[in-house]
Each structure stands twice: as structure tokens, then as C-alpha cells.
Amino acid sequence: MAKFTSNEWDEIRKKFRSSIMADTSLVSLAQNLDTKDWPHKGEEETPSKYIDFTYEELLMLPEIAGSTDRADHLAGILKETLAFDDPFGDMVAQVEETASKENPILKTLARLGIPENFPLVLANFSEGTRVVCASEGIKTIGEFANLGQQMSTKVVLGGDFRNALNALTHGDEEGIGQFLPYRKGSTGLHLAEAIGLISAGLPRPDQLGLAKAYGATLPPAEASAARTLSKDQIEKHQGMMRVTLNTAFEWFKDGKAALLKHVSDGGTYERYFVVINDPAREAIAVRLTSTALKDQVKPAAVSAPREDKKGGFFSRLFGKG
């Protein structure tokens, strides 16, 4: 028996027309809820594709194929997603109040030296999580912490939203490093890891494909999993990553200055990015950064040639003269 009636579906789809998440991938929305995956993939698989249909029409669509279970699954995803919208008015009004209360996430940020005003644009989050945050104007990790504490009592969370909250709540440094440029065992955030996270948001086959295109040598298993990218696809990825790279340079001003000095003093980008600990993303970071900074690196100082001591060839060779 269907869990949702025709009238309930009409109410859900009516509310969803004004949701900022109407054009968000159903796969992403399902991942951010504690529910099974949406079975259909593709750019067109968004709530907007389905909300113009009545319940009876919905059952006739090829994607639903008369299955009330599948229709219920769709309605459930949309209903739970609306829970992100509906209680937000009260939540956002309570954000400042929450900040003054005991918040384990804010305690973790303070203990690890992670600034509360660190911009989420530099975090490694999925599309679904970014949409949720953008819908409420959440722009920093501190705001994310406060909102997350409120949402965790009202909405069943899933995906990287839940993973991030869990890692921050429990001080899981390795988990935190999956979405923030944090280096395990240290304090503060780091430019090298921030640049490494820029490509982490790409599908893994695309990461491997970019690395191969940049001449990286990958293990056989990863080389075979790499996607062959066209010139246009490579340029599209590079364009999007450059925007985030500029934001990283703006935030990590001291880190950028230290990197320029490192390279000007004869250090290599490869050495700088080895902390990423992922050959594919290291190769992408090297190409992205070296291209962006090529006109800003000062040539290493050249020492004045030492005047040879008097004496012939053998005198110089044996240090006598």
C-alpha cells in the first residue's frame, strides 16, 4: 500500500515549486538524507522533472513504471528535503543564540585552530550540501556548525553533511581533512591542502584523467580508471578550478607568500604538494598552481662566480696553488 496519497503528493509538489532545491540532482538530495539512493542518474533527474505531474500521471512515467514504492521514494525524498526549508526560518533566527551555547563543533574548531570565518566555498562539499547552505546564506564553517546543530535535532541527515558534522563533533582529524584543508596532527588550515581539495570535488575518473593529461604516472588500476577528457572538458575543469584557486590565494595570503618564496629559493611545487598524499590530485595542484603563479615567481638569486686561485688545472683540481 502506498505511503503517500494523491493529496499528500499534491501538497508536496506544490511546496517544492518554490524550493531553491527544485533543480538539484535527486541523487545528491537522496545522499544528504538517511535514505536509499535515487535509482536514476542524469542531469535531468531533478524534482522539477516530476512536480508538474499528478500522482496518477506520476505512476505512468517510465521512471516510476507504475511502482507505488518508487513513487513513495520520490515523495519521501522531496518531503524530507522540504524539512530543510520549512524549519529554517526558526533555525536561522536561533543561530546567534546557538553560538552562545555549548556547541561541540565550535569547541573542535577552536581546539584545532580552525577559523570560524573560513569560507565554505573552499570546503570539499557535495552539490546537495552546498545548495542547503546557500539556501540559507550559510557561508562560513562557523555558520555551518551552528546550523548543523539546529538541523540535527529536526532533520535526519545523510551524505557528507552528516559526515562533516560527525567529524567536527568528535574531533576526527582525518575526517575533517576530507572536507577542510586541515593537516592531521597540526593546528590551523593550510594552503597546500586547500589547493588539493579543489580537484577533490571532481568525479574520481575526471581527477585521474586530468592527472594523466598533465603527464602524471599513475598506478595501473588508477590509470585504467581514468576518464579520457577532451580539450574542451579539460579547459572547463581548469576554468572552474582557477576561480576557487584565486579564492584560496586571497584567503591564504601568508601561505601564498611562503609558497612563492619556496619556489623562488629553488624548491619545487612537487615537494610542496606532497602533503596531499594523492598522486593524481598532487599533479593537478602542481599544474594549476604553477600556471597561475608563473609570472609572480622571482628567479633565484645567482651567486657571483668565485675567482679561481692562481695555478693551473691540476692546482685547481687538487685544491693547491
Residue range 56-109, pLDDT digits in tens: 999 989 888 888 899 999 998 888 888 765 544 444 444 445 444 578 889 999
Q: Band the pLDDT of 157: cuts 50, 70, 90.
A: low
Q: Give pLDDT tens digits for 64-79.
A: 888 889 999 999 888 8
Q: Is 185 among the domain residues?
A: no
Q: Is 309 among the domain residues?
A: no
Q: Is 314 among the domain residues?
A: no
Same domain, 35 and 17: yes
Same domain, 61 and 122: no
Same domain, 93 and 68: no
Higher pLDDT, 84 or 303: 84
* Cell numbers linked to 231: 580539450
167, pLDDT greater than 60: yes
**Domain edge (last residue) among 44, 65, 85:** 85
Find cell 543564540 and name the residue: 97
Q: Which domain holds residue 243?
A: 191-293
Same domain, 228 and 149: no
Q: Give pLDDT tens digits for 277-290.
A: 999 999 999 999 99
Higher pLDDT, 317 or 72: 72
How large is the average pLDDT for residues 187-191? Answer: 97
Same domain, 287 and 198: yes
Q: How many CB atoms lie within 10 A of CB 15?
A: 15
Enclosing H/E stretch for 240: helix 231-251
- The sign one gets for the Cα dihedral 171, 177, 179, 182 is positive
Same domain, 126 and 213: no
Q: Is 110 among the domain residues?
A: yes
Percent of the chain with pLDDT over 70: 83
Same domain, 255 and 280: yes
- Torsion (CA) 239, 284, 253, 141 in degrees, nearest 10: 80
16, pLDDT greater than 90: no
How large is the average pLDDT for residues 150-166? Answer: 70
**Domain edge (last residue) among 150, 176, 202:** 176
Q: Is 160 among the domain residues?
A: yes
Same domain, 94 and 171: yes
**pLDDT score, position 300:** 63
Q: Is 266 among the domain residues?
A: yes
Instruction: Please count the CA atoms within 13 angstroms of the CA of 296 that sit on its side-chain side.
Output: 13
**CA angle, 163 then 285 then 195, to 5°:** 45
pTM here is 0.68
How large is the average pLDDT for residues 154-161? Answer: 64
Same domain, 76 and 111: no
* Cell numbers linked to 62: 517510465
Closest to 2 (Cα-Cα) out of 82, 80, 73: 73
DSSP 3-state of 78: helix
* Cell numbers linked to 4: 503517500
DSSP letter, residue 311: S
Higher pLDDT, 185 or 320: 185
Same domain, 137 and 63: no
Higher pLDDT, 21 or 107: 107
* Cell numbers linked to 144: 555551518
**pLDDT score, position 84:** 61
How large is the average pLDDT for residues 175-194? Answer: 96
**pLDDT score, position 317:** 47
d(CA 142, CA 105): 8
**Domain edge (last residue) among 19, 53, 85:** 85
* Cell numbers linked to 143: 555558520
Q: Which residues contact 63 (CB under 8 A, 6 or more apart)?
A: 40, 45, 70
**pLDDT score, position 36:** 86
- Maximal CA-CA distance, the chain: 102
Q: Give pLDDT tens digits for 199-224.
A: 999 999 999 999 999 999 999 999 99
Same domain, 24 and 98: no
DSSP string, 148-178: HHHHTTTS-B-HHHHHHHHHHHHT-HHHHTT
Closest to 249 (Cα-Cα) out of 205, 201, 181, 194: 194
Q: Is 242 among the domain residues?
A: yes
Percent of the chain with pLDDT over 90: 51
Same domain, 93 and 75: no
Q: Is 305 among the domain residues?
A: no
Total structural domains within the chain: 3
pLDDT averaged over the chain?
84
CA 46 to chain CA centroid, nearest Å? 21
309, pLDDT greater than 50: no
